[in-house]
Structure 1
């Protein structure tokens, strides 16, 4: 069956009315915590007793086999230009999973029974069609929604395939997503790399992703080819082999009840923090490496926690890509911060470590105790949570990979005749708002002319942190708290998530070039997003 029709009564309206009708108990989170008390700690678990795992690569339908029923080309913009070369079926279903052997079995919503979901590995310029079927139960126990809509985060997709939140559908239905894998404006310098897909159900994004509806989507091209021995002179020959030397790492935090079962507090509007760190769906795993270069793809999978990634020995590494976009040149750093939805690609050379170093840890030095956002400053190393143990095996090994000094051309966005707009990310009557307004899927908050540069200024008052994400296109940060941002700096690349900390102001340039229709921009703290911190805007053709 095709996607279901919209509900007659807006779920958003229901949530807003519920908040108002329950008064301070619901709206005043501080008062709520006084009444309910702090959530009990999860049961103790022994760290680093299970090996890091990677989901299998998603396989297309066999050659000559088609989706049944057939997709409808007329439902997709520019379909005739981007006729799919491969077809996929992806199924949302509930399974029982145990993220640590000392925890109980939890009911989880997953793609294909996996969390993270299967790994999509694609090539830039090769269009595909993914049919996403909903086989979740009609009633979800505990928290979450049986309705879904999948968003390919940072995918250059038309609105009908983007996964806008109100296009949700229930069990027994499906939706076809047309992914052209086309760089914006066809420009090879805008080919992307580390993407991810996740549920985007209106009002339930945080709960559904927390239950497991998320996975990686990796793109390669002739420059970032995924082959460290590639003879093509244009190829970078970065560390390669997904799950071998090219390592996708999804970081998230969860909380479990005294029976070791996954739990979530829908009443916490600040942002929900867990007390167990998961990497690729497992609580504090370990990973064995040899003494050579590795590419780590770091993803903050949320729902609300920020990270400050360090290695426990304070070793330096090379930063090569921000939010799936290669930088112009690698930058040597010893730590990186990330808000929800942000991705960092780094190259770590373990051959530089002395033979006496046989283990280190990837830690989070961000002090973050409440959903309001992280505190200023850095946790002492000996107090920083250890998320992943890295065992360094002895002996030298061959390493044909490299990190060239020139990665990819990062082109400037023309600023002449740009349209300027301010977006203030605040609270209104205890709810999260943008420019003082709660999200309404029936209202457009801005009109964007296709191809015309937008200069958007984001700001938030002190005390709250918001990672701002706009769909489909990437922007360039021009100014941060009144200071011009240098092009080849940590924040100077092409990005789709811009993390605002309390009192921050960011000015970003962006353009929408390939599609027309309706998109959204929102805080990627899933709890804030679900409680109205989102805007809807229309991309229209030039007159």
Structure 2
């Protein structure tokens, strides 16, 4: 009989298991179907009817819309860090390369943050027992960071997870700020994981913490030095999450994610900003981040993850900011909602419903990038890690009205959506309309938002093709598994390339390229649709799609990755390392 200690699979051993596709799936039936607490009790848990195994019992029943939506608290800065940050690793810090451009951004940094990754108990719903999570500062999602372009920040991330854990996940971390324009040593490279006793193959030694230098500069810093980069390259809605190689999916599923919001003179975060350059979008308590995740719970109501499922993990409970089908009390005015598909494997098509009728809303940003113009839509689709900012004006509805965010996209396994649109779909979040605000709503949603930089194909020095296919029971890019130590390609700094992404085999893949936003030139030979015609860092491949994407590599050098953001596919080696090298 298996004992709890037998359930801990070290990374190297897990890699060997994964090389044997079918064997791994078989092992999963025996070992994988355990929640953390069930493992501790020596019992078995349940699984998802819509997940990879397909024959496991559903989660326990929960009553929808009895839990208020939590809004993640803002992370507060500290006056200083002890020991003081430095260009190279400090005392007790995990090994890393030196901070790039330290002389420009390090000494001038005035914003310092300290965050602790901890294990904690968490309630997903009052009708379920508390589950064990891992969280930044012990909460899920982690606290929200607010930063401004032109003001660098150093975030010190302590790993306080227990060294010996039972159940799913691996207690080493490497935090990726998706999709920050920053040096590779602060990017959260998958092989840079650390704890106080272990460390990854691409860093020098273990340590209690790691300092991340986020310069908060626009891309194109060297070419547009007077303005701190090209303001047309601004991001707004970013998020951070764990990126530990081979264990990203369970670690993120267990709670390691949070929001990081960036503002500038245009998207200023102040709807009453007196500046003539400001857009005056809804702000403050009317600017709400929403992380959508789907979870599975075992027969005892405890969080469940099948560590050996290689196709994709689907849950039958839909959470927003960690709560199952919550409600949110709103005033009769405009709100900005920042949607994030937190994965690990589900796609969504979202609608706003009132009395069963789809309602229009204003769509202003894709993947955290403001569009050139506001779009009025009644639906939008999201792949894993995609973001979408929308504005809803509740003044259009009477007090007491109830509106719902509804997912109508059918997905039954890790292949991706079937394409079928369900009616009525699944209600995930309810808005309860209350009174008029105490002060008049002065927010605006201008028709014109942020200008796009031009695409200059004359900059392109190379075209590369990447094919994302399942081969021999494994997930591959161009037929190869991820090699954490060896770059697949080496683009030169201050150049541009066209990367061609090709899907196949009936699978959907949300492809993420670290470090720089890209522009879709064509999808299957045709121009991209308006919502994805702006700057993006997730490029969704439907089965057999081919995308041509324009990418630049500016301002920094070093190791980065490109991968499928179906986190299960990523963990099972659908990823490449690319190194930006001197031009």
Cα deviation 1:219-273 (Å, max 9, x = unaligned):
11111001111110000000111xx211100000101111111010012111000
Q: Within the alignment, does 1:404 sit opposite 2:429 as a pair?
A: no
> Cα offset for 1:40?
1.5
- Pick aligned residue for 1:351 from 372, 379, 395: 395
- Structure 1 residues 20 and 156, CA gap change in structure 2 (3 angstroms): closer
Deviations 1:479-524 (A, max 9, x none): 01110236xx111000000111112111110101010111100000
Q: How does 1:26-37 map to 2 (within 5 A)?
A: 26=25
What residue is the counterpart of 1:196 in the other structure?
A: 239
Taking the aligned partners of 1:371 and 1:136, their CA distance within structure 2 comes to: 30
- Tell me which of 512, 519, 522 is aligned to 2:563: 522
1:147 and 2:147 are equivalent in the alignment: no
TM-score, structure 1 normalization: 0.93
The equivalent of 2:466 in structure 1 is 423
CA distance in 2, matches of 1:457, 1:262: 38
C-alpha change, 1:396 and 1:232, in structure 2 (3 Å) is closer
Indicate if the aligned counterparts of 2:18 and 2:572 stay in contact, CA closer than 8 A. no
1:173 pairs, out of 183, 208, 211, with 208
Check if 1:440 corresponds to 2:463: no
The answer on whether the counterparts of 2:557 and 2:581 sit within 8 Å (CA) in structure 1 is yes
Contact 1:413 1:453 in 2 (8 A): no
> Is 2:400–2:434's contact at 8 Å kept on the other side of the alignment?
no
Select the residue among 34, 42, 50 that pairs with 2:67.
50
- Counterpart for residue 140 of structure 2: 115
Asked whether 1:385 is paired with 2:402, we answer: no
Residue 341 in structure 1 maps to residue 385 in structure 2? yes
**Counterpart for residue 472 of structure 1:** 515
- State the Cα distance separating 1:56 from its structure 2 match: 1.3
1:76 corresponds to:
99
| Residue in structure 2 matched with residue 156 of structure 1 by the alignment | 181
- Alignment partner of 1:283 out of 297, 300, 324: 324
Assess if the C-alpha contact under 8 Å between 2:52 and 2:312 holds in 1.
no
Aligned to 1:493: 534
| Kept in 2: contact 1:523–1:534 (CA 8 A) | yes
Does the CA-based 8 Å contact 1:227-1:240 persist in structure 2? yes
* Cα displacement (A) at 1:428: 1.6
Shifted more, 180-189 versus 30-39: the winner is 30-39
Question: Which residue, out of 217, 234, 248, partners 1:205?
Answer: 248
CA contact (8 A) 1:413 1:510 kept: no
Please give the secondary structure, in 2, of the residue aligned with 1:472: coil
Q: Offset of 1:36 from its aligned partner?
A: 6.6
CA distance in 2: counterparts of 1:28 and 1:95, whole angstroms? 29
Q: Normalised by the size of structure 2, how large is the TM-score?
A: 0.86
Q: List aligned pairs for 1:239-278, cutoff 5 A.
A: 239-241=282-284, 244-278=285-319
Give how far 1:463 is off.
1.5
Unaligned 5+ runs, structure 2: 1-8, 33-48, 89-96, 197-206, 221-228
Q: 214-223 or 171-180, which moves further after superposition?
A: 171-180
* Structure 1 segments unaligned to the other structure (5+ residues): 1-9
Q: Contact 1:426–1:460 at 8 Å: present in 2 too?
A: yes
CA distance in 2, matches of 1:439, 1:129: 30
Per-residue deviation, 1:360: 1.1
Aligned to 1:15: 14
Distance across 2 between alignment mates of 1:331 and 1:176: 39
Distance in 1 (alpha carbons) for counterparts of 2:76 and 2:340: 23
**In 2, Cα distance between the equivalents of 1:287 and 1:123?**
28
The count of aligned residue pairs is 524
* Pair 1:78–1:191, CA change in 2 (3 A): same
Match of 1:375 in 2: 418
Is the contact made by 2:22 and 2:473 (CA closer than 8 Å) also made in structure 1? no
Q: Secondary structure at the match of 2:306?
A: coil
| SS in structure 1 of the partner of residue 550 of structure 2 | strand
Equivalent-residue separation in structure 2 for 1:103 and 1:396 (angstroms): 35
**Is the 8 Å Cα contact of residues 469 and 505 (structure 2) preserved in structure 1?**
no
Give the match for residue 199 of structure 2. Answer: none
Asked if residue 125 in structure 1 is aligned to residue 150 in structure 2, the reply is yes
Q: Aligned residue for 2:524?
A: 481
Please say if residues 149 and 201 of structure 1, whose CA atoms lie closer than 8 Å, have aligned partners that are also in contact.
Answer: yes
CA contact (8 A) 2:27 2:308 kept: no
- Indicate if the aligned counterparts of 1:351 and 1:396 stay in contact, CA closer than 8 A: no
Q: 1:27 to 1:340 in 2, by over 3 A?
A: farther
Q: Distance in 2 between matches of 1:35 and 1:492?
A: 33
Q: Which residue of 2 aligns with 1:38?
A: 55
Query: Deviation of residue 72 (structure 1)?
Result: 3.1
Superposition deviation, residue 37 in structure 1: 6.0
Does the alignment pair 1:308 with 2:349? Answer: yes
1:176 to partner: Cα distance? 0.8
Matched, 1:216 2:239: no
